[in-house]
Amino acid sequence: MKAEFVDSIRRLLPTVEATALLDALEAGEPTVSVRVNTARGATVPDGVTRVPWCPEGYYIDGERPQFILDPLWHSGMYYVQDASSMFISHVIRQVVNTPVSYLDLCAAPGGKTTAALQALPQGSRVVANEVVPGRALALSDNVTRWGAPATVTREQPRAFSRTPNAFDVIATDVPCSGEGMMRKDAQAVEQWSPALVKQCADTQRQILRDVWPALKPGGLLIYSTCTFNREENELMLDYIADALGAESVAVPVDPAWNIAPGIDTPRPCYRFMPHRTRGEGLFMAVMRKHVKHGDGSSVSATSRETEEPSPRGGTEKRKTRNEKQITINEKSRPDPVLAYSLTADRGAWPIVNLDYPTAIAYLHGEALTLPPDVPRGIVLVAYRDAPLGFANNLGSRANNLYPKPWRIKSHFQ
């Protein structure tokens, strides 16, 4: 690690704690954890270590599995997510009590979005946004596999403010200097500099200014980074409060979780540091937007009386996993999204369960030979009753309809 970074941590924390954090970043092993999709009937296995702040999460001990070779991962039965990031589930369950309009502004690759879809009250409307094209595709794919209705957009933050007061809750997992990812991302170590910290803080302020009008008065902003310094964390909360107009909201936590409090601030905020908690670095806090006198609004984050947000201009907007909004194409092939949709009619197609080798062959895009009793035509193929996608059974063979961009590209040992 760079000497300047080491010095910054030693200025940030008391000596003993700074040394423990630096040791964890330099010599510690990254954790591996997953969050199961309970809406698909998935459960946490017996005998595993659970993530304390997320009932759907658990740690995987030993060598990291090759998740790409697990059909259940492809089917959306679970999501591979750092345990610290799963704290968003706990936060949402503590501060949101009734259906809301929810924007995940910087959503790729989709971990916090799928966690929100799992934690939000039923009936909430979720928009997941990512401005970078490649990352937006990954976001769309991951949200699709999760199966719950959401809208995926590719917008600049300011576009959402063209529909003022559209959201009850906005989550901003903002681009940051990535100090909390240093033990799992060599690039985070190499690219770090004091100039990067300042650049990220400037970008974060701009993002917050741009999206702030889209948050209802009384609505909640969930702010998070994966870094340690105060410029991007506690001082950013001061900016939100003083420049934009908000107050801090406390989230109840169990002291046994060993989450660190904010540094040199009275504001309630939550620091995950790998020498204290089993996971990577994370900072999270909740801010409530002020209700200005005379604005006629008493909206809080516990109501969802709002029009559908409609950002305009240069937009790429896609509804995902709502079968009422998906059409059959001219070749009468069902949209692949329908295979994963939790609201689709499972009785619309015959379901064929594949064994493991055949499921992997399907995910590679290979043609299949199905049992002779399988009806001809479109069938939904599955693994252990978890949907993988569609095939067109011709009798002698079944044509693979798994989308090419989703296919496993390489063969692994």
Active site residues: 226
Nearest 5°: the CA angle 401, 403, 407 is 110
Q: From 351, 364, 342, 360, select the one nearest 390 (Cα to Cα).
A: 351
Q: How far is CA 259 from CA 10, 12, 56, 167, 254, in A?
A: 19, 16, 19, 29, 9
- How many CA within 13 A on the CB side of residue 330? 0
Which has the closest alpha carbon to 52: 227, 250, 223, 258?
258
Indicate the SS3 state at residue 203.
Answer: helix
The answer to whether 370 and 398 have CB atoms below 8 angstroms apart is yes
Distance CA 20, CA 201 (A): 26
Q: How far apart are CA 74 and CA 364, in angstroms?
A: 12
In contact, 240 and 314? CB cutoff 8 Å: no
CA–CA separation, 216 and 28 (whole Å): 42
Q: How far apart are CA 150 and CA 140, in angstroms?
A: 10
Find the helix or strand (DSSP H, E) in which 103 lies.
strand 101-104
